Every structure is written in C-alpha cells, then in structure tokens.
Amino acid sequence: MLGSGLRSRKSLGQNFLVDDDIRDKIIRSAQLSVDDVVIEVGPGLGALTAELIKKAGRVIAVEKDDQLARRLGDRFKQYRNLQIVNADILEISLENIVKNDRGYKVVANIPYYITSPILHMFIHSKLKPSMMVVMMQKEVAEAVTAKPGKMSYISVSMQLFSKPEIVCPVPSGSFYPEPKVDSAVVKFNMLPVPAVPVDNIERFLNIVQRCFAAPRKQLRNSMALGLDIDSGMSKEILDRAGIDYQRRAETLSLTEWRALYLEVVVRR
C-alpha cells in the first residue's frame, strides 16, 4: 500500500523510486538550470518531481494514472512552474506541450515495458530533446550503450542521434515494490546532427533492422533473410562495402552500417 488507498499498478509497470541517493544522481546528471524545460515521464509519487521543480524553470510531468496525476496536483499545487499532463506519453504531441523554441530535457523513471517505444519517440521526434536522463532495465541500458561486438538494432538507432552513457547501476531495492530485475540510469547526450550522414534516416534504420533478422548468423545469411535476396547477392554487396561476409550484424560500427546502406541502396 502507498497510502490514501493507492496501490502500484502492474499493468502500468509502476515501480516507484524510493532511493534518495539515486534520485540525486539523476538530478545532478541532468545539469538543470532555471532556463531548462523538463519533461518527466511517469512521475509516480513525485520523488523526482519534487527536486526537478526546484532546479528547472518549467517541469511538465506526464502521468497516465488518473489517481497519481490528481495526487501530484494536490501535493505540488503551490508550484507554478509545474504542469501535470494526465495522458499517455506515447499519444501526446510534444509540440503542443513544450510550446517553446528553446528545446527541453527528458528526466524520467519510465515503465520498463514501454522503454523502447518511449526512447524512439523522443530520439526520432522532429522536436528532439537536448538531453535525456532515463532510468531503465539494466539489460536495455547495456544494449543502448553497446560498442561494436555487442550492438543491436536499438544500439544503432539510439547512437545515430546521441552518445549514451551509463550514469550508475541501480539495485532493485531502490524501488517499491521491488522489480525482479536490476536497473541503470542512462544519460543520452544528443548530437546536433546524426553520427553518420545518410540521406534517408527511415530507410537506413529499416535496412539495419532487416539485417538483424537472424543476428546469430553470419551477416551474409542474416542480410539475405532480412532483405529477401540470395546469399550470393548479399556477399557481393558486403564485399563492395568492404565488410567481411562472415561477420555478424552485432560487430558493425555506425560507419560500416552507412557503407552497407549505401551499397544496398545502389544494388536495389
């Protein structure tokens, strides 16, 4: 029980942060000033919110749970720099809630079951944040910060627009109720332009995703399966891109993905 008849809702992935030390590390990592606009996703009971409104010029807390949104409104009603939006973050218009030309930061302890959709929404939005500091499952944190050798589609898609780094590990005991997995705080330093130049971001990422169709196979075979071409053609494309056909997709760098993309576009 959380008081006032409230219970955490498993359907919304609610695990509330109760560790002040971790909270403070998140706040410090966000490097906030009175000039900042912050979007907090899933504020829950307001552990982060209470500190954000002290540091930032404006805080937009997006909470899907009706009861929690009302509770937050009552708790922080004296703060004029806080706006509570009772909505699903994946269904709102960022342009409508930010309403400024200065940009914004994202600081959040997001529900783990929708981590990837939320990350992709922000990082691929026309109105991108200048920085994100996000709590997520440890395995996802390791995936988004992975280097060539352990890359995945989410590694490529996030590192195309940002330089992610793990701020700190977070044990399950830092939450109530305790999740069954450990977590980590990840800071995404957004890039002013994509890490590698490509003329069509959507097509580039689609090709990358297809080449991960069978990630444990040689790239020649995974690529043939994902792009629906024969292995001979995929080997020829890889040769032209200067990539050994026996490698796996997880070993490619962003520069190599760009080279492969250019050859695929030429050959198809």
> Which tens digits make up the pLDDT trace of 197-234?
999 999 999 999 999 999 999 999 999 999 999 999 99
Q: CA 195, CA 161: separation in Å to the nearest integer?
A: 6
Tell whether 55 and 146 lie within a shared domain: yes
Domain holding 216: CATH number? 1.10.8.100
Q: What is the DSSP letter of 45?
A: T
The predicted structure's pLDDT at residue 166: 98
Give the domain-ending residue among 151, 169, 190: 190
**Host domain of residue 167:** 10-190
Q: CA 167, CA 261: separation in Å to the nearest integer?
A: 32
Tell whether 138 and 227 lie within a shared domain: no
Tell whether 69 and 184 lie within a shared domain: yes
Q: CA 250, CA 237: separation in Å to the nearest integer?
A: 18
Residue partners of 115: CB distance under 8 A and separation at least 6: 134, 136, 137, 140
Question: Cα(first)–Cα(last) distance of the chain, in Å?
Answer: 58
The predicted structure's pLDDT at residue 267: 64
Give the domain-ending residue among 169, 190, 211: 190
Residue partners of 208: CB distance under 8 A and separation at least 6: 153, 156, 157, 257, 261
Tell whether 115 and 167 lie within a shared domain: yes
Tell whether 177 and 226 lie within a shared domain: no
For residue range 30-60, list pLDDT tens digits in order: 999 999 999 999 998 999 999 999 999 999 9
DSSP H or E stretch at residue 162: strand 162-170
The number of domains in the chain is: 2
Residue with tokens 């959040």: 108
Q: How far is CA 100 from CA 18, 34, 38, 53, 55, in A?
A: 32, 15, 12, 18, 19
Residue 11 has pLDDT above 80, yes or no: no
The whole-model pTM stands at 0.90
Q: CA 200, CA 218: separation in Å to the nearest integer?
A: 26
Structure tokens at 206: 């689609």
Tell whether 208 and 79 lie within a shared domain: no
The alpha carbon dihedral of 121, 124, 128, 132 has a sign of: positive
The percentage of residues in the chain with a pLDDT greater than 90, rounded to a whole number, is 84
For residue range 101-147, list pLDDT tens digits in order: 678 999 999 888 889 999 999 998 989 999 999 999 999 999 999 99
Tell whether 61 and 91 lie within a shared domain: yes
For residue range 152-201, list pLDDT tens digits in order: 999 999 999 999 999 999 999 999 888 888 999 999 999 999 999 999 99
Residue partners of 93: CB distance under 8 A and separation at least 6: none
The predicted structure's pLDDT at residue 111: 82
Report the Cα 86 to chain-centroid distance in Å. Answer: 21
Give the domain-ending residue among 190, 219, 238: 190
Residue 100 has pLDDT above 80, yes or no: no
Tell whether 214 and 183 lie within a shared domain: no
